[in-house]
Amino acid sequence: MANHKQAIKRHTQSLKRNARNGYFKTTCRTYVKAARLALAEGDKGVAAPAVQKAVAMLDRTAGKGIIPKNRANRVKGRLMGQLARL
């Protein structure tokens, strides 16, 4: 554990940031998983809103710098490609 006041503050801030970022990462994974399951069913009416929610969450998470923008774009591209093939 850190001994200096500044190091203690940085550690506290990193714990808060880690908790906040963890929420966004897990929520993002949940939306992507729901979209993939909806795509697997094959019903475009169900899959389109699920993919739209997942894309919005990926954009939000990448915009905050929690996940890399290229990863978000890759996942979005794959989801949209699968939706287009339905």
CATH assignment of the domain containing 45: 1.20.58.110
Task: Give the pLDDT of residue 55.
Answer: 98
Measured distance CA(25)–CA(23) in Å, rounded = 6
- Into how many domains does the chain fold? 1
Print the domain residue range for 33. 5-85
Section 62-86 average pLDDT: 96
Measured distance CA(45)–CA(35) in Å, rounded = 12
What 3-state DSSP class applies to 4?
Answer: coil
Task: Give the pLDDT of residue 51.
Answer: 97
Share of the chain above pLDDT 70, in %: 99
pTM of the entire predicted model: 0.86
Q: What is the pLDDT of residues 21-57, one digit of tens each?
A: 999 999 999 999 999 999 999 999 999 999 999 999 9
Considering just the CA atoms, what is the radius of gyration of the chain in Å?
17
Residue 9's pLDDT band (cuts 50, 70, 90): very high
46 phi/psi in degrees, rounded to 5: -85, -35
